[in-house]
Amino acid sequence: MATLLAVCLYTWYKQRLFHRLGIPTKKTVFLLGDFVDMVRWGFSYLGMDLYKRYGKVFGIYVGNVPALVISDPDIIKHIMVKDFDHFTDRPPFLKLTKFWKSAVSVAGGDEWRNIRHTISPTFTSGKMRSMTQFLQRSLDVFHDILEKQIKASPNGFDIDPTVRCYTMDVICSTGFGLDVSAQTNPDNPFIKYSKRFLETSPLGMPKFILYILFPDLADMFPRLFETSFMSKDIMDFFMTTTRSLFEDRKHSESKHKDLLQLMVNASNLAETEKVSNSQRKGKTVVTNGQLKLFTLIG
């Protein structure tokens, strides 16, 4: 009984934060907050109806974790441009393991700046133009497959699996110079393991549930809440594959201008130049987290 009372008091206090600050708050579910809606609809549930009802700035709760929804263009401009140096880090909805903290979408502070500085040259206009041939090759295959599917199912078909395979082909060819033939071979391991990873549900992650319900407890004992949100066999597959790709490229005389080559160059630079410890960390760790992250984007 005492535990239940403590949970109720804790939730009542956490879910009144925006009320204490005088910020409009969306009506929420006790303890769970907007978590159920987010799982069911994704962030798309934050539509125009909420904007009209609560205004340009209002609060929601993911469990007991507060989140501020902003749709005012002037405030967004300050956050994304003028005052971006104060808003570089993303909200940590998971206590991730050390490996995942090296991914650009998760890293924070100086580590994020080092990683961003390392990978940004991959996306210059010149580099993007050099990827056209790979995009066109994947697009030709995609077009042929669509024509066959249209003839076989003129009344309509599920295009999602086809688009996923096309995206994987594009990511692997432009990012790693790798031809996985995902579109013509749906049973390709890349597709199989990526699909399993993307189908991971937060409902099957007890540590995530505990984190959003009791964020202060997670902050007090961070090591107990660390999670990889990926099963060991999926992790092993991508670790082995990306490590093999990296080592093969590193010891070859490749003239590729893709993401993988940039990671190799960054690693070589860290080994040969006298750089600071923080710079060295940003250049070497990036070769692991970023390669896996960009592969899973497909």
* Separation CA 117–CA 120 (nearest Å): 6
Question: Is residue 201 assigned to a domain?
Answer: yes
Alpha carbon 28 to chain centroid distance?
26
Domain boundary among 87, 107, 136: 87
Backbone angles phi and psi of 205, in degrees to 5: -120, 90
Amino acid 63: pLDDT: 87
Residue located via tokens 């970023």: 290
In a shared domain, residues 124 and 268: yes
Q: Identify the helix (H) or strand (E) that includes residue 67.
A: strand 65-70
Same domain? For 71 and 126 the reply is: no
Closest of 255, 251, 256, 178 to residue 267, by C-alpha: 251
Task: State the residue for tokens 């995530």.
Answer: 208
Q: Does 78 lie in the same domain as 11?
A: yes
CA triple 78-89-98, angle to 5 deg: 170
Please indicate, yes or no, whether residues 147 and 220 belong to a single structural domain of this protein: yes
Same-domain status, 181 and 254:
yes
Given a cut of 50, the residues of the chain with pLDDT beneath it are 274-286, 297-298
* 82 located within any domain: yes
| Residue showing tokens 């978590």 | 35
142 token code pair: 């995609």
One domain, residues 283 and 228: yes
Residues 154 and 240 in one domain: yes
* Domain shared by 230 and 272, yes or no: yes
83, 127: one domain:
no
What pTM was computed for the model?
0.64
Could you say which of 69, 87, 105 is where a domain stops?
A: 87
- Separation of alpha carbons 207 and 269, rounded Å: 38
Residue-level pLDDT at 19: 92
The domain in which residue 123 lies consists of 115-297
Q: What is the pLDDT of residue 295?
A: 57
For residue 175, tell me if it sits in a domain: yes
Last residue of a domain, one of 87, 105, 133: 87
Q: pLDDT tens digits for 145-198? A: 999 999 999 898 999 888 988 988 888 888 777 788 888 887 888 778 877 877
Q: Are residues 149 and 59 in the same domain?
A: no
Same domain, 248 and 160: yes
CATH code of the domain covering residue 281: 1.10.630.10
Kindly state whether residue 97 falls inside one of the protein's structural domains: no
Counted domains in the chain:
2
Please tell me the distance from the alpha carbon of residue 100 to that of residue 93, in angstroms, as a whole number.
13
Question: What pLDDT is recorded for position 280?
Answer: 46
Is 92 within a domain?
A: no
Residues in contact with 297: Cβ distance below 8 Å, sequence separation at least 6, in sequence order: 167, 171
Residue 93 falls inside a structural domain: no
**Is residue 47 assigned to a domain?**
yes
For residue 267, how many other CB atoms are within 10 A of its CB?
A: 19
Same domain, 137 and 238: yes
Whether residue 184 is contained in a domain is answered as yes
